Chains A and B, each alone.
Chain A
Amino acid sequence: MNDRNNQLGNIYVSPRAIATIASQSTIESYGVVGLAAKNLAEGLAQVLVKDPSLGIDVRFENDSIQIDLYIVVEYGVRIKSVARSVQENVRYSVEKAIGLPVTHIDVHVRGLRISNTD
């Protein structure tokens, strides 16, 4: 939970709300074909989750946000570049919406989806 004081009272934003924002911007990132529930066995990682907070872990530390993302990536893309742009997109959209710094985003690539074989 994260609260910010103002004259009228406190504002609480739940990790789930932040996860939803992160989820949206993750799946809009190029190269990502889905989020994977983090507790599924490796082989099941391709079961793409619909629930916006699955596949995303949000933690608060002091006044900053830390996020873990579990994603499935399209086969044939440069994973490093994709992961980096996911980090950038997620940080941008979360910071823009919440106004607190995102200090850490760990991207876990849990699987690849092969839609074309070359």
Chain B
Amino acid sequence: MSDFNPPSAAAGRQLAKVSQLDGLGLKQLIEAGMTWLKTNQQTVNALNVFPVPDGDTGTNMVLTLQAAYNEISESGEANIGKMAHMIAQGALMGARGNSGVILSQLFRGFARGLDSLETMDAQLFIKALIEGRNTAYKGVVRPVEGTILTVAKDVAQAAENALAETDDMNMILERIVAEADQSVKRTPDLLPILKQAGVVDSGGKGLFYIYEGMLRHLKNLPLETPVTTVQPLSAMNISETMESIEPGQDYEVVVDFRPSNPLDLETFYNDLSKMGTSIQVGEGDGIYRMHIHVPTENRYRPIDYTMGLGTITKVSMENLIAQMVTQDHTKHTKLQLAPVEPGQIAVVVVSPGVGISRIFASLGAAAIVSGGQTMNPSTEEILQAIEKLPTDRVIVLPNNKNIILAAQASASMTVKKVVIVPSKSVPQGLSAMLRLEPDGDFEQVAKEMVRALGDVETGEVTIATRSVDINGVSVKQGEVIGLHNGQVVESASNLEDACIGLLKKVHTEDRERITLFYGDNISKNEVNTIVDKIRAAYPKHEIELHDGGQPHYQFIIAIE
């Protein structure tokens, strides 16, 4: 028998013995390996951690294999040696990434092992595999174990061992797949970085899929749909899937449901894959959780579909495009810091949130160090910011009483002239910032800025982390508290009451403007409701609202 003609029998059948393989048979196997790897490409990509999480091993291996296959797709070459050389040539030309290069070397060695022989028997098959392994190992001075190289080595060894028992290449391939599976599972023991990341080696896994695809082809199992493994609910990592959104992944739909009949996973998965991508299924306590990314027009289909399978307990849907847009927004909006000429006065600002940084930058800050209540920047970070500025006259605004000391320490460590304007809050910092004159007299400007600290009252609204009696205010853990210039003055059960109550305690009569900076832990809706209430309560005041982006504090309020 010189060809694998997949019989129509069902999965898992006993394979007929194969003792000879020719070029066309090899071509079929390569195609099957490629198809199966393509099907599982994303799974392999998700494993990538080495050397940097770039997540493209699967893609690189598919492209390499695709190039190899393109070389032979038109060929009817029956000589297996010649076929193998063409495959190796294609893989070499198309090799992409580290794993792709190694894969091409495996093919190259394999082809050399076959030389230009007409057909291959079990003995030759093993010889070619070993030659492939040797060639791959020759390509590096210091092979890193726990990678695709290790898997190739283990596979060659297993195949060699199998030869002692059988000369049936199908059986040997079964052994190969089983060993590849085991070998991949062992990779974290050999390569610590994998263990740290809690994954197996991606290239090794890719090689496993290639061999498994060949075997599935022989067993007449489908190659186009991945086999789902149901994971425990707790292990589902849905946030990970956010990393890369492809076209057609507009909505994320997560459905929890209790199937009325035992779930046929293969069918379930198959049906889902017609609707979208990034499919994950988790199970716990009889409840299944299904996760899928779907294009806009399909957004209700997964829900309707699961409804037919049992009882839906929960549905959540998220617009990924909008999510990506906000992610991009915060990631990519570069701060426009004020340019500084030598000799000018520059200001280094410690800022607790992205929005606040932006406001300081718009007022002429030359450098921003991020830090705040629970994330005090180090002396070194502030010092670096000071040193990097092209001027030797620097003013630092710590904007938090816990950071003033670190700022002072950094001032003592540089030869530059540095003045710390001890702003204890963001509103104080902003008030001081307004007095900056970059070309003014250094001492004079600094003095003005210090004086400006008193022009503003600071209000802060946050959630109490513990119960306490302070300044005659009794606070229970979890309540919303209002602080006036750092002192607790108000405690309430909700944000709205806390804000209004706080403003009452601050003497707003002789003030004209209230500016609110809302944090990253409050929704825009809530913000709008509260600000409307404040506007109604203080009709004579000018009320301003900014996205501060600070953690912990729902609101930082400046009252001027």
Q: What is A's interface to B at a CB cutoff of 8 Å? A: 5-7, 25, 27-34, 74, 76-78, 81-82, 84-85, 88-89, 92-93, 115-116, 118
Contact = CB atoms under 8 A, between A and B. Distances in A.
B75 to A, nearest CB: 18
Contact of B104 (A5, A33, A78): A78
Given A6-B380, A118-B111, A31 B413 contact: no
Contact of B140 (A29, A88, A93): A29
Given A78-B92, A81-B96, A33 B101 contact: no
Contacts of A116: 108-109, 112, 135, 138
Nearest to B67: A78
A115 B101 contact: no
Nearest to A92: B51
23 contacts: A5-B384, A5-B413, A25-B51, A28-B140, A28-B142, A28-B144, A30-B140, A31-B140, A33-B141, A76-B92, A77-B101, A77-B105, A77-B139, A78-B94, A81-B97, A81-B98, A84-B97, A85-B97, A88-B54, A115-B138, A116-B108, A116-B112, A118-B112
A33 B85 CA distance: 24
B100 interface: yes
A118 B144 CA distance: 25
Interface of B: 51-52, 54, 85, 88, 92-98, 100-102, 104-105, 108-109, 111-112, 135, 138-142, 144, 149, 379-380, 383-384, 387, 409, 413
A32 B101 contact: no
Contacts of B108: 76, 116, 118
B52 A92 contact: yes
A28 B102 CA distance: 13
A13 B141 CA distance: 27
Contacts of B92: 76-78
A76 B383 CA distance: 51
Contacts of B141: 27-28, 32-34
B332 to A, nearest CB: 19
A112 to B, nearest CB: 11
B93 to A, nearest CB: 7
Given A28-B142, A115-B138, A88 B51 contact: yes
A53 to B, nearest CB: 16
B51 A31 contact: no
B139 A27 contact: no
Contacts of A77: 92, 95, 101, 104-105, 139
Q: Which of B97, B109, B383, B409 has the most CB of A within 10 A?
A: B97
Contacts of B413: 5, 7
A26 B101 CA distance: 15
Contacts of B111: 118
Q: Is the interface of B mostly helix, strand, loop or mixed?
A: helix
B60 to A, nearest CB: 9
Nearest to B414: A5
Nearest to B102: A30
Contacts of B102: 30
Contacts of A28: 140-142, 144
A30 B139 CA distance: 6
B26 to A, nearest CB: 17
Nearest to A25: B51
B139 A33 contact: yes
Contacts of B54: 88
B101 A31 contact: yes
Contact of A93 (B51, B93, B101): B51
Contacts of A89: 51
B97 A31 contact: no
Contacts of B94: 78
A98 B533 CA distance: 53
Most chain-B Cβ atoms within 10 A of its Cβ — which of A6, A77, A78, A85? A78
A93 B52 CA distance: 10
B151 to A, nearest CB: 14
Nearest to A74: B139
Given A30-B102, A32-B140, 16 more contacts: A5-B387, A7-B413, A25-B51, A27-B140, A27-B142, A28-B142, A29-B98, A30-B149, A74-B105, A76-B105, A77-B101, A78-B95, A85-B97, A88-B54, A89-B51, A93-B51
Contacts of A74: 105, 138-140
Contact of A82 (B52, B93, B101, B144): B101
Given A7-B380, A116-B112, A118-B108, A30 B138 contact: no
A39 to B, nearest CB: 21
Contacts of B98: 29-30, 81, 85
A77 B109 CA distance: 12
A88 B98 CA distance: 10
B384 to A, nearest CB: 8
Contact of B101 (A7, A25, A85): A85
A81 to B, nearest CB: 5
Contacts of A84: 97
A47 to B, nearest CB: 14
Given A5-B380, A76-B92, A30 B101 contact: yes
Contacts of B139: 30-31, 33, 74, 77
A27 B138 CA distance: 12
B90 to A, nearest CB: 11
A93 B50 CA distance: 11
Contacts of B379: 7
Contacts of B88: 118
Interface centre among B102, B109, B139 (most CB of A within 10 A): B139
A61 to B, nearest CB: 15
A84 B426 CA distance: 46
A84 B112 CA distance: 27
A89 B142 CA distance: 14
A54 to B, nearest CB: 14
A27 B102 CA distance: 15
A27 B144 CA distance: 10
Nearest to B144: A28
A98 B111 CA distance: 43
Residue from B142, B144, B149, B409 with most neighbouring chain A CB atoms (10 Å): B142
B380 A81 contact: no
A30 B98 CA distance: 7
